[in-house]
Structure 1
Amino acid sequence: MQNAGIKGIGREYIRFVVPSVIAMMISSVYIIIDGVFVGQGIGETALAAVNIVFPFIFLTMALTLLIAIGGANVYSFYKGSGDMAKANNVFCQCVALLIALGLLLGIPSFVFRRELGLLLGANSDILPYVTAFLAWAAPLQLLQSLTLGVSVFIRNDDAPGLVMAGTIAGSLVNVVLEYIFIMRLHKGIEYTVIANNIAMLVQGLIFAARFVFRKGQLTLALPRFRGFDLKRIFANGVSTFLMELSQSTVAYSFNLALIHSHGTQGVASYAIVTYICAIVYSVMIGVSQGAQPLMSRSHGGGDEKTVYRVYKMGVRTNIAASTAFLILCLILGKGMAALFQSGNSGLTDSAAHMLRLFTPGYIMIGLTLMNILYFQTTERDRYSTVVALLRCVGFVQVLLLILVPLVGGNGIYPAFIGGEACNAVLSFVFVRRAVRRSIPAGEIA
């Protein structure tokens, strides 16, 4: 890729990013359908319960991506420099870490599910639904950690199409099972988790076939744990962890603000917004996941100009996607919100209003995601960690503490948009500084 032309980079970008975006889009669609089934089939209290549990689910994903993205960047660096033995050992070390993570999260979340529900902010109405959900979430922690983590490596093993196929298959299985369990058999909220478990197992089996039939360069073996590799994995992945954890901390902060200012309906409205905004967030995650192998491999080969070109393509894609989504929500926001409940016009109006005020912030998030990816793939870990930490417990939370006491629950909207704008501007300034240091001024296109 060192001497690839601009057209060649564009073709590679499309080959990796398009399947990644499609896979994430399908995944977001099944998340939305999940919300529609819960809202229509069980009720708004169950919908609020799912949103209460979301921060814990985001924590699982954050820790998984800490290992997977950090490991995949190190894997691609070794692969780009031609050392496949070290690259494969990084993969094996990460698989062992992912298994340990799933067990460490799953067992306590089952044993202490009531205490966890209270910690997440559930009130007396919501708590029974939360504990029922968490009772079946334990195996999901292990399945999700392994499946999501391994999919990142498969994409870096030049198989983005397989990741797309596995994700689509798992999503379709989940939708069918939830329709049967919730809409036809009228089962409770725990059956949404049972469907998730089965779907994740199907997805994992599809990925496992690649190793059984030895289709790629990745092979499963007993890992040789190397302190140097582990340090690079965690140093490189910590920003992804913090960025994903920020989804959890922001949701947790907003849930607390809303449950005190607007009660259960306020949390249910925010749950609807979270489901709908999963569409654009999944697209932007798909863009960054698709761009990551190209950027990491180019950095490993010493081609910093290609790293920057792919970064710029990702920024443009994310801005275009988030702007189109904002326009869609302004036009169709009320109709989208109405899908998630039955007969409660007040909930629809509240969710539609909230949706229109939240979506501008996602333009800023798209830029921040690509800025952090640039730091990760060029191994500027301090920059990526600082930006991700500020998004996790920084500008948004500070503005919440200032604005909510002043203007009540409505303060969450300017806090969200203002905080994300600060993150985007600061990270962009860091990227420009890093680019000037790595690429001669006359060669920055």
Structure 2
Amino acid sequence: MTNLANELGTEKISKLLVKQAVPASIGILVMSLNMIVDTIFVGQWIGSLAIAAITVVLPIVFLISSIGMGIGIGGSSIISRALGAKEFQKAFLTFGNQISLTLGLSVFFVFIGTFFCSSLLLLFGANGDILSPATEYFHVVLYGVPFLAFAMMGNPVIRAEGKPKFAMYAMIIPAITNIVMDIIFIKVMNMGMYGAGLATSLSYAACGLFIFGFFLSKKSELVIYPKYLLLNYKIVKETIQLGGVTVIRQGTISLLMIVLNATLFKYGGENAIAVYGIINRVMMFALFPVLGVTQGFLPIAGYNYGAKDSKRVKETIKTAIVYGTGVATIIFLGIIIFPETIAGIFTNDSSLISETPNALLLSFLATPVITTQLVGAAYFQAAGKALPALLLTLLKQGIFLIPLVYILPQFFGLNGVWFSFPIADIMATLITVIFLQKEVRKNLV
């Protein structure tokens, strides 16, 4: 653990953030490209209804697998602080408990998802002609969810160890697998939505197995000890408190998708849901550097907070916000200049191509300010402060966006949905700034 301590505790923050953020960004980029290519393939080779079907299914899949993400992020916060405080046994215990929790809970919820398949799809907006392709896709993808949950658990833990490149590899492998399998199953074998689902499920398996192999290898400093797989109440409680932020956030996103898909269908039918499917993929791709900065920020802030080095924590916050805001502004300018080109990449459906650019522009209006909100929420999570982390995480999707998506379309029609995104971003950022300034003055002196 010495090299990790030397790096996270002593290396220049700007250099350290780049070292952590670049691999995270590349991993997110490749994962986002995977989602985009997947959407392009199903849109071009199956049809616009296939885009709508995937838009409905994936929030359910990510809701189930977010259990692993929550356990991963909550546990990695404990691990980072434990390493900073030189409490290595606590780090091993936390890691073992993460594995048991993730596998047990994800398998349980896969059974629930299988049993209530039709009800879930209808709840999440599989209306009209969307239900049939969504059902076919959902049944296959569910089998890969435990692997995805394990991967989501393991990825932040790998970063907490100070191994961002391996975390990046873990995100690249499923992306390549999915693209190759999409070509084989959809284009070559003409397996339609079943083929798309099978390709996605196999990509999840590839990712989960790679991460499991990493933890078994000598490259990992966190060893899997059987005795630490037995759940420890104190560790489980702290992991759930911190990781619950992520699960609740994903739950809120899923609730948002229920409201959003229902509203989109009401004001624009299946086409509007497909348009949002494109916007959602663009958001994932366009914001990859900002999300990479946020992920790179977490282990640095957590380690130095555990080491009680307030000066380095404050410098990490400032550097992450400056870097992320600069990148977000460049992304914003690119979307303003090329909205039609972006829309045309995904589909040859003329109605989608004509409707998407306006929606894309409106949805991304507040992109330059989002880094502050993301880093602010991430700081409280890294510091082990579950309540403010939860509140700030829920600000955009839960507290502001869901009501706005419901209210604004009543006055502005479909444009009201797209306007909801920048308004929610700005309001959430303003409140995050207030919380962060108060925290710095009070506890980082």
Q: TM-score, normalised by structure 1?
A: 0.93
- Is the Cα–Cα contact under 8 Å of residues 32 and 285 in structure 2 kept in the other structure? yes
Show the counterpart of 2:244: 238
Name the CA distance, whole Å, in 1 between partners of 2:256 and 2:325: 21
Show the counterpart of 2:218: 214
Show the counterpart of 1:33: 37
User: What is the deviation of 1:6?
Assistant: 8.8
**Mapping 1:423-438, distance limit 5 Å:** 423-438=428-443
Structure 1 residue 149 and structure 2 residue 153: aligned? yes
Structure 1 residue 257 and structure 2 residue 263: aligned? yes
Name the CA distance, whole Å, in 1 between partners of 2:8 and 2:260: 46
Name the CA distance, whole Å, in 1 between partners of 2:194 and 2:105: 23
Please tell me the residue identity of whatever aligns with 1:430: F
Please tell me the residue identity of whatever aligns with 2:97: Q
Q: Secondary structure at the match of 1:220?
A: coil
Identity percentage of aligned residues: 24
User: What is the deviation of 1:190?
Assistant: 2.1
Structure 1 residue 48 and structure 2 residue 64: aligned? no
Name the CA distance, whole Å, in 1 between partners of 2:383 and 2:110: 34
- Is the Cα–Cα contact under 8 Å of residues 246 and 391 in structure 1 kept in the other structure? no
Instruction: Give per-residue Cα distances to partners, 1:55-95, cap 9 Å, x unaligned.
Output: 21331343322211011001111111111111111011011
Instruction: Give per-residue Cα distances to partners, 1:8-48, cap 9 Å, x unaligned.
Output: 22222121111111111111011100000010010001111
Name the CA distance, whole Å, in 1 between partners of 2:157 and 2:98: 10
Name the CA distance, whole Å, in 1 between partners of 2:323 and 2:354: 31
User: What is the deviation of 1:426?
Assistant: 0.3
User: What is the deviation of 1:4?
Assistant: 8.3
- Is the Cα–Cα contact under 8 Å of residues 75 and 98 in structure 2 kept in the other structure? yes
Name the CA distance, whole Å, in 1 between partners of 2:87 and 2:411: 57
Name the CA distance, whole Å, in 2 between partners of 1:29 and 1:398: 31
- Is the Cα–Cα contact under 8 Å of residues 110 and 136 in structure 1 kept in the other structure? no
Show the counterpart of 1:203: 207
Distance 1:184 1:82, change over 3 A: same
Please, which of 420, 426, 434 is the counterpart of residue 421 of structure 1? 426
Which shows bigger deviation, 393-402 or 306-315? 393-402
Name the CA distance, whole Å, in 1 between partners of 2:7 and 2:200: 44
Distance 1:103 1:362, change over 3 A: farther
Structure 1 residue 333 and structure 2 residue 339: aligned? yes
Please tell me the residue identity of whatever aligns with 1:289: Q
Please, which of 376, 379, 391 is the counterpart of residue 396 of structure 2? 391
- Is the Cα–Cα contact under 8 Å of residues 65 and 240 in structure 1 kept in the other structure? yes
- Is the Cα–Cα contact under 8 Å of residues 210 and 216 in structure 1 kept in the other structure? yes
Show the counterpart of 2:17: 13
Which shows bigger deviation, 279-288 or 427-436? 279-288
Q: TM-score, normalised by structure 2?
A: 0.93
Instruction: Give per-residue Cα distances to partners, 1:241-287, cap 9 Å, x unaligned.
Output: 33344433333322111101100111111111111111133333222
User: What is the deviation of 1:239?
Assistant: 2.5
Name the CA distance, whole Å, in 2 between partners of 1:374 and 1:351: 35
Show the counterpart of 1:318: 324
**Mapping 1:74-85, distance limit 5 Å:** 74-85=78-89
Name the CA distance, whole Å, in 2 between partners of 1:145 and 1:7: 32
Show the counterpart of 2:131: 127
User: What is the deviation of 1:170?
Assistant: 2.0
Distance 1:412 1:6, change over 3 A: farther
Structure 1: runs of 5 or more not aligned: 441-445
Please tell me the residue identity of whatever aligns with 1:216: S
Name the CA distance, whole Å, in 1 between partners of 2:238 and 2:73: 11
Please, which of 69, 73, 78 is the counterpart of residue 69 of structure 1? 73
Name the CA distance, whole Å, in 2 between partners of 1:256 and 1:291: 36
**Mapping 1:308-387, distance limit 5 Å:** 308-342=314-348, 344-387=349-392
Show the counterpart of 1:178: 182
- Is the Cα–Cα contact under 8 Å of residues 287 and 331 in structure 2 kept in the other structure? no
User: What is the deviation of 1:299?
Assistant: 0.7
Please tell me the residue identity of whatever aligns with 1:144: L
User: What is the deviation of 1:233?
Assistant: 1.2
Q: Secondary structure at the match of 2:103?
A: helix
Please tell me the residue identity of whatever aligns with 1:295: A
Please tell me the residue identity of whatever aligns with 2:361: R
- Is the Cα–Cα contact under 8 Å of residues 54 and 251 in structure 1 kept in the other structure? no
Instruction: Give per-residue Cα distances to partners, 1:165-206, cap 9 Å, x unaligned.
Output: 232122111111101222232221122221122222222332
Name the CA distance, whole Å, in 2 between partners of 1:4 and 1:158: 8
- Is the Cα–Cα contact under 8 Å of residues 2 and 301 in structure 1 kept in the other structure? no
Show the counterpart of 1:443: none
Name the CA distance, whole Å, in 1 between partners of 2:139 and 2:246: 28
Please, which of 97, 100, 103 is the counterpart of residue 101 of structure 2? 97
Please tell me the residue identity of whatever aligns with 2:309: D
User: What is the deviation of 1:337?
Assistant: 1.0
- Is the Cα–Cα contact under 8 Å of residues 364 and 421 in structure 2 kept in the other structure? no
Q: Secondary structure at the match of 2:346?
A: coil
Name the CA distance, whole Å, in 1 between partners of 2:215 and 2:420: 46
Name the CA distance, whole Å, in 1 between partners of 2:325 and 2:192: 39
Show the counterpart of 2:64: 60
Please tell me the residue identity of whatever aligns with 1:350: E
Please tell me the residue identity of whatever aligns with 2:355: S
Name the CA distance, whole Å, in 2 between partners of 1:196 and 1:345: 28
Instruction: Give per-residue Cα distances to partners, 1:329-358, cap 9 Å, x unaligned.
Output: 11111111112112x222111111111111
- Is the Cα–Cα contact under 8 Å of residues 58 and 247 in structure 1 kept in the other structure? no
User: What is the deviation of 1:366?
Assistant: 2.6
Name the CA distance, whole Å, in 2 between partners of 1:202 and 1:381: 32
Please, which of 295, 298, 307 is the counterpart of residue 292 of structure 1? 298
Name the CA distance, whole Å, in 2 between partners of 1:382 and 1:26: 32
Aligned CA-pair RMSD: 2.0
User: What is the deviation of 1:297?
Assistant: 0.6
Q: Secondary structure at the match of 2:127?
A: coil
Please tell me the residue identity of whatever aligns with 1:131: T
Name the CA distance, whole Å, in 2 between partners of 1:84 and 1:3: 17
Distance 1:4 1:294, change over 3 A: closer
